[in-house]
Chain A
C-alpha cells in the first residue's frame, strides 16, 4: 500500500510539473547547455545598479520590462499584455499579465506573482536619491506612478516625449527582492542574488566566477529551449579565443577583429554580425589643469596616428570616428571628418597652450611643471591589443613632449578610480549605446559626480542647452540636427580623443540554431535559440 502511495505521489508530481512547465509549443527541442566567454565579471547582477555591458547581457536573461522590442523594431507586450495611452501622450496605463511568476530563490516553496506593487517599487527604488544608478537621468521624464489595482499601473509623464512607449523596457524587480525597501546599493544581497521573471534564473556563481543560469520552466512566454547558460570570465581575449577553438566554450559575444578570418574559416562556427553602436576612446580628466585646456586635448588627437593603430593592432577591421557617435548611428554627423595625424600641429598647439621644453629633456613644461599624465587602463577585454594601443599612445605623446605613465588596473578597481574617485588623468575605454544614441549622461554637466558617466568633468553650457532641447523635442528630425551639432561641438572640444568603432561579430558554435542577436542587449531573443537533440551535451 505504502509503495502504491509513493508511486502515485511520484507520478502525480511528475504530471503536475509538466502541467506547470510552459513549453513554447514551436516543435523545437529543449535541452543542452551553452557556455560563452565574457570579459571579466560584473560587479552586480541587477538592472538598477549595474553599469557595464557584461551585466546588461546577464540582466537581459533574468529580467523583463513592461514592454519589449522585437526583431522588427516593434514595441510588443512583455510583463504588460496591453496598455492605453492618453490623447495628450502623458499618461500610460499598463495592464500586467496575471501569469508571471518570480524566480524562486533556493529553499523557497512559495509562488509569488508579479503585481503592480513590484512595478511601483522598482520605480521608487530607481528614483531614490540614495540609489546609485544611471537610470535616474533616463527616467526623469516620469512625474509619478500609481497603482490602479493589483494588476494595473499608471505612469504620468512630465511632458510628452519622443518614442515614449519604448522607454518602458526598463527591467522590473520584485518588492520582496532587496533587503532595503527604500534604496538599492551594492551592499544589498539582491544585487548578487537577483530574482527576476526572465527566461533564465541565477543558479549560482562559482568560485571561478562562472555565472550559471538555468531555464525558467515557468517562463510566461514558454520555457527557453536551452537548459543552461554559463558565462565564463576571461581576463585575456586571446585565451577566450583559444577556449572557443578548443570547444571549452560554445560562443564569444565579441570576436577580436584579428581572429575573424580564423573563426570564419572554421566550419564549426558561424559569425553573426551585430551592430553594437560602440566606440573606443581616450578620455581626459578636465580637473587636471593641463588637460582642462582644449588646445592640449586637441593636440593629443593630432599627435596620434589612429589609422596606423587600427591597421597594426586590429588589421584595419574598424572605422576611425570623428565624434561621440558610432558610424552606424543615426546621429553621426557625416560632415565632420576625423582630424588627421599631424604631430607638428600637435606641438604647435601645445606651444600655444604655454608648454615648452625649457630644459631640453624632451618633456614640455608649463609654470615649471613637466607634463606628465597617468593613463589608467582596465586589464580585461582585448588585453593584448589594448596593451599595444596604450603603448603606442604613450609613444606618440612622447614624440610631442608629453610623458604618459600607463597603469593597468583590474576592472573593478579601474571603475572605482574612474567613476567613484575620478582618480586618473587619462583613461582608455569603450562606450556602447542602444539605438537612442543618448550621450546626455556622458557630456551634460549635471552628470558630473560619483558613479556618473561624465567622469571627465566636461562642462559646456551650449552642450547642456542642446541636450536639454533634444530631450524636449518631439520632432525626430530636429533631434537629429541637434545631435549633429553636438557631434560638431564635442569633436572640436575633444573631451575624448575618439578612436574607432571595431567590426563586431559574435562567434557561435553551429549547433546553436535560430540565433538572433539584439545589437545592444545581445540575449533578447535567446529563449528561442535551440540545440538539436543529437548535438546537446
Chain B
C-alpha cells in the first residue's frame, strides 16, 4: 500500500511538472506569437520590448528562436530608421535654408551650429567648418554647446584631411563637464579613431553624472551607446538603448516673443539605424553560437550579409554572401536577392563594372521573375544606377496594359522614379500599393513604404499629405517628430493659401 502510494505520488508530481512545463512552453510560444503579431503589424519597437523581456526568463537552449526573431526585428527597425534618416536630411536641409533666408525678425543664434552638423552629415566638411567656426566665434551662446561645436569643428577638419588642425582644436576644448566629455568620445567614435579613449570618456561621463547626481541628457545616452557599439560592447550598448529619448529637440530656442525654433541633431537617426543594424548582427551571431541553430543558419547568413553591407563592411558582406551561395539550401529566390546585394557591395567598393555585370546577368536570366526584377529595381533606385534597360521592360508591360502584371512592380517602380527625380510618377506608382481603406495605418502599410510615399509627396510640395502620414507614424514612432517639425516649417514658408475657410 505504502509503495503504491509512493508510485502514485511520484506520478502526480511528474504529471504536474510536465503540465507546468507544457504551460510554460505554451506561454513561451504565446509570447513569441505576440511578438510576431507585432512584426506583422510593423510595430517593431514594441516587439523588441516584448522579446527582450521574454529572453530574460529563458534558458540558454531556449534562446535560438527568440534571438533569431529579435535579430529580424532589429533589422526591420534599422531599415526604418535608415529611411527616416534619409527623409530627415532632406527636410532638415530645406528647413534650415528657409530659416536662414528670413530677412525680417530675429534669426536663431543656434542656426550656424545645426547647419554645421547638417553639412557634416552630408559630407560637406569645408562648409561645416565655416559655419561651425561662426558659431564658435559668437558670444551669445551657452558654453557647453560652444565646446561641442568646437569638437565638431575639429571633426570637420579631420574629415577634410587636416588632422593636425583637428587635434589642435580638440586640445582647445576647455570644459571637463560630463556632457562635453561624452561628446568628445562620441566624435572620436564617429570618426572611428581612438576608440579606447572614447570608451574611457564614456565611463568618465557616466561616473561624473552619478557623482553629481545630475539628470542625464537624453542625447548623452545616445552618444554613449554609439561609443559602446563602436567598441563592440553589445550588451552594454543594448542595455542603455531604452534610456534614449528620441523625440526631444536638442535645442528649443525661444528666439524672441512668440518665436520658438526646435533644432534636432541630424545624426541621431543615422546613429540609431547603425546601432540597430549592429544589434541585429549581434543577435544573429548569438544564434550561430547555440545548439539548435542549424535550421536558421542559411537565413542568418542571408541577413548577416545585409547587416554587414549596411554597416559598410563590404568585404565581410561579400564573404558572407559567398558562404551563403556555397552552402545554402534555401529557395533559389534567396540566391537571386543575395546576388543583387553582391553587386551592390562591389558597387560601393568602387567596382561598378563588376556590379553591373552581376546585375545584367541576373536581369537577362530572370526576365519573367517579377520578384527578382523588383529587387533589382530597388537596388538601382538606392544606388542611383542607370535603370533604362529595366524600365524598358516595364514599359512593355505598361503597353500591354496588363495591370496584374504591373502590380508587383509598383513599389519598386515608385522608388525608381523617385531616384530619377520623377516625383509625380513616383507618387502615382506608390499610390497603387497603398491600402487606401487604411490609409496611413502601419498595421496595413509597411512604414518604410509610407515614408517613401511621404517623401514623394513632399517633393511635389503636397506637404499636407506627407504630414498626415507622419502624424500616424508618430503614434508608434515618436522619433519622427523631427521630420514633422521640419516639414511643418517648410510648408508654412511655402504655402500659398489666401485665407479661405468654409463650412460644410
Contact A477 B99, CB 8 Å, known A271-B436, A329-B467, A432-B504: yes
Choose the segment among A80-88, A244-252, A302-310, A478-486 that binds chain B (4+ C-beta atoms closer than 8 Å).
A478-486
Choose the segment among B1-9, B69-77, B254-262 that binds chain A (4+ C-beta atoms closer than 8 Å).
B254-262
What per-residue 1/0 map shows which CB atoms of B426-445 lie under 8 Å from chain A? 00000100001111010000
7 more contacts with CB within 8 A, not counting A166-B496, A334-B485, are A275-B464, A328-B465, A432-B501, A436-B500, A474-B104, A477-B99, A478-B259
Question: In this assembly, does B491 line the interface, its C-beta being within 8 Å of a C-beta of chain A?
Answer: yes
In the complex the two chains form, is B501's CB within 8 Å of A439's CB?
yes
In the complex the two chains form, is B503's CB within 8 Å of A273's CB?
no
* Distance of A279 from chain B, by nearest CB (Å): 11
In Å, the complex CA distance between A51 and B493 comes to 27
Q: What residues of B have a CB within 8 angstroms of the CB of A477 in the complex?
A: 99, 102, 255, 259, 261, 489, 492-493
Contact A438 B258, CB 8 Å, known A479-B492, A480-B489: no
Contact of A51 among B256, B465, B502 (CB under 8 A): B502
Question: In this assembly, does A437 line the interface, its C-beta being within 8 Å of a C-beta of chain B?
Answer: yes
In the complex the two chains form, is A435's CB within 8 Å of B495's CB?
yes
Choose the segment among B13-21, B301-309, B468-476 that binds chain A (4+ C-beta atoms closer than 8 Å).
B468-476
Question: In this assembly, does B82 line the interface, its C-beta being within 8 Å of a C-beta of chain A?
Answer: no
- List of 10 A-B pairs having minimum Cβ-Cβ separation, nearest first: A436-B497, A328-B464, A435-B497, A166-B496, A475-B105, A434-B497, A275-B464, A330-B491, A435-B495, A330-B492
In Å, the complex CA distance between A39 and B502 comes to 14
Question: In this assembly, does A466 line the interface, its C-beta being within 8 Å of a C-beta of chain B?
Answer: yes
Q: What residues of B have a CB within 8 angstroms of the CB of A271 in the complex?
A: 436
Question: In this assembly, does B52 line the interface, its C-beta being within 8 Å of a C-beta of chain A?
Answer: no
Considering residues B437, B461, B472, which has the most beta carbons from chain A within 10 angstroms of its beta carbon? B437
In Å, the complex CA distance between A285 and B269 comes to 47
Residue in B closest to A169 when the chains form the complex, CB atoms: B498
Q: Which of A134-150 contact B (CB under 8 A)?
A: 134, 138
In the complex the two chains form, is B436's CB within 8 Å of A327's CB?
no
Question: In this assembly, does A423 line the interface, its C-beta being within 8 Å of a C-beta of chain B?
Answer: no
Contact of A434 among B99, B259, B468, B500 (CB under 8 A): B500
In the complex the two chains form, is A327's CB within 8 Å of B471's CB?
yes
* Distance of A240 from chain B, by nearest CB (Å): 14
In Å, the complex CA distance between A258 and B501 comes to 26
In the complex the two chains form, is B436's CB within 8 Å of A330's CB?
no
Choose the segment among A70-78, A221-229, A355-363, A397-405 that binds chain B (4+ C-beta atoms closer than 8 Å).
A70-78
25 residue pairs bridging A and B, Cβ less than 8 Å apart: A52-B502, A54-B504, A134-B501, A166-B496, A260-B437, A277-B464, A319-B468, A319-B471, A328-B468, A329-B467, A330-B488, A334-B485, A432-B502, A433-B500, A435-B495, A436-B497, A436-B498, A437-B495, A439-B501, A442-B501, A469-B258, A476-B102, A477-B255, A480-B492, A484-B260
* Distance of B41 from chain A, by nearest CB (Å): 14
In the complex the two chains form, is B474's CB within 8 Å of A334's CB?
yes
In Å, the complex CA distance between A172 and B498 comes to 14
In Å, the complex CA distance between A136 and B255 comes to 33
Question: In this assembly, does B462 line the interface, its C-beta being within 8 Å of a C-beta of chain A?
Answer: yes
Question: In this assembly, does A29 line the interface, its C-beta being within 8 Å of a C-beta of chain B?
Answer: no
In the complex the two chains form, is A264's CB within 8 Å of B437's CB?
yes
In the complex the two chains form, is A264's CB within 8 Å of B436's CB?
yes
Residue in A closest to B259 when the chains form the complex, CB atoms: A478
Question: In this assembly, does A430 line the interface, its C-beta being within 8 Å of a C-beta of chain B?
Answer: yes
Which residues of B are interface residues toward A (Cβ below 8 A)?
A: 98-99, 102, 104-105, 255-256, 258-261, 431, 436-439, 441, 460-465, 467-468, 471-472, 474, 481, 484-485, 487-489, 491-504
Q: Which of A235-278 contact B (CB under 8 A)?
A: 260-261, 264, 271, 273, 275, 277-278
Contact of A520 among B260, B474, B489, B500 (CB under 8 A): B500
Contact of A273 among B465, B467, B498, B502 (CB under 8 A): B465
Q: What residues of B have a CB within 8 angstroms of the CB of A440 in the complex?
A: 499
Contact of A53 among B493, B495, B502 (CB under 8 A): B502
In the complex the two chains form, is B258's CB within 8 Å of A330's CB?
no
Question: In this assembly, does A448 line the interface, its C-beta being within 8 Å of a C-beta of chain B?
Answer: no
* Distance of B492 from chain A, by nearest CB (Å): 4
Question: In this assembly, does A509 line the interface, its C-beta being within 8 Å of a C-beta of chain B?
Answer: no
Q: Which of A42-74 contact B (CB under 8 A)?
A: 51-56, 69, 71-74
* Distance of B166 from chain A, by nearest CB (Å): 34
Q: Which of A275-295 contact B (CB under 8 A)?
A: 275, 277-278
In the complex the two chains form, is B437's CB within 8 Å of A317's CB?
yes
In the complex the two chains form, is A429's CB within 8 Å of B460's CB?
no
Considering residues A434, A469, A475, which has the most beta carbons from chain B within 10 angstroms of its beta carbon? A475
Residue in A closest to B494 when the chains form the complex, CB atoms: A73
Question: In this assembly, does A530 line the interface, its C-beta being within 8 Å of a C-beta of chain B?
Answer: no
Q: What residues of B have a CB within 8 angstroms of the CB of A334 in the complex?
A: 474, 481, 484-485
Question: In this assembly, does A41 line the interface, its C-beta being within 8 Å of a C-beta of chain B?
Answer: no
* Distance of B248 from chain A, by nearest CB (Å): 11
In the complex the two chains form, is A166's CB within 8 Å of B492's CB?
no
Considering residues B260, B464, B500, which has the most beta carbons from chain A within 10 angstroms of its beta carbon? B500
In Å, the complex CA distance between A206 and B98 comes to 51
Contact A473 B498, CB 8 Å, known A39-B504, A275-B462, A431-B503: no
Q: What residues of B have a CB within 8 angstroms of the CB of A473 in the complex?
A: 105
* Distance of A297 from chain B, by nearest CB (Å): 20
Contact A167 B431, CB 8 Å, known A261-B437, A328-B467, A477-B261: no
In the complex the two chains form, is A51's CB within 8 Å of B503's CB?
yes
* Distance of B257 from chain A, by nearest CB (Å): 9
In Å, the complex CA distance between A430 and B502 comes to 8
In Å, the complex CA distance between A449 and B105 comes to 35
Contact A166 B437, CB 8 Å, known A53-B504, A328-B471, A519-B464: no
In the complex the two chains form, is B504's CB within 8 Å of A327's CB?
no
What per-residue 1/0 map shows which CB atoms of A475-513 lie under 8 Å from chain B? 111111110110000000000000000010100000000
* Distance of B215 from chain A, by nearest CB (Å): 21
In the complex the two chains form, is B498's CB within 8 Å of A434's CB?
yes
Question: In this assembly, does A181 line the interface, its C-beta being within 8 Å of a C-beta of chain B?
Answer: no
Q: What residues of A have a CB within 8 angstroms of the CB of B494 in the complex?
A: 73
Residue in B closest to A505 when the chains form the complex, CB atoms: B436
Question: In this assembly, does A163 line the interface, its C-beta being within 8 Å of a C-beta of chain B?
Answer: yes
Q: What residues of A have a CB within 8 angstroms of the CB of B460 in the complex?
A: 71-72
Considering residues A317, A330, A474, A503, which has the most beta carbons from chain B within 10 angstroms of its beta carbon? A330
In Å, the complex CA distance between A259 and B108 comes to 48
In the complex the two chains form, is B495's CB within 8 Å of A163's CB?
yes
Question: In this assembly, does A441 line the interface, its C-beta being within 8 Å of a C-beta of chain B?
Answer: yes
Q: Which of A413-448 contact B (CB under 8 A)?
A: 415, 429-442
Contact A480 B488, CB 8 Å, known A260-B436, A330-B463: yes
Contact A434 B436, CB 8 Å, known A275-B462, A327-B467, A480-B488: no
In Å, the complex CA distance between A484 and B252 comes to 14
Residue in B closest to A40 when the chains form the complex, CB atoms: B504
Residue in A closest to B465 when the chains form the complex, CB atoms: A275
* Distance of B125 from chain A, by nearest CB (Å): 28
Q: What residues of B have a CB within 8 angstroms of the CB of A190 in the complex?
A: none
In the complex the two chains form, is A170's CB within 8 Å of B498's CB?
yes
In Å, the complex CA distance between A473 and B104 comes to 9
Considering residues B98, B431, B464, which has the most beta carbons from chain A within 10 angstroms of its beta carbon? B464
Contact A430 B437, CB 8 Å, known A273-B465, A475-B259: no
Contact A329 B498, CB 8 Å, known A317-B439, A478-B258, A505-B436: no
Contact of A481 among B258, B474, B484 (CB under 8 A): B258
Question: In this assembly, does A381 line the interface, its C-beta being within 8 Å of a C-beta of chain B?
Answer: yes
Q: What residues of B have a CB within 8 angstroms of the CB of A430 in the complex?
A: 503-504
Question: In this assembly, does A453 line the interface, its C-beta being within 8 Å of a C-beta of chain B?
Answer: yes
Question: In this assembly, does A331 line the interface, its C-beta being within 8 Å of a C-beta of chain B?
Answer: yes
Q: What residues of A have a CB within 8 angstroms of the CB of B438 in the complex?
A: 316-317
Contact of B497 among A39, A317, A438, A484 (CB under 8 A): A438
In Å, the complex CA distance between A440 and B258 comes to 17
Question: In this assembly, does A332 line the interface, its C-beta being within 8 Å of a C-beta of chain B?
Answer: yes
In the complex the two chains form, is B501's CB within 8 Å of A434's CB?
yes
Residue in A closest to B497 when the chains form the complex, CB atoms: A436
In Å, the complex CA distance between A271 and B104 comes to 43
In the complex the two chains form, is B259's CB within 8 Å of A166's CB?
no
Q: What residues of A have a CB within 8 angstroms of the CB of B463 in the complex?
A: 328, 330
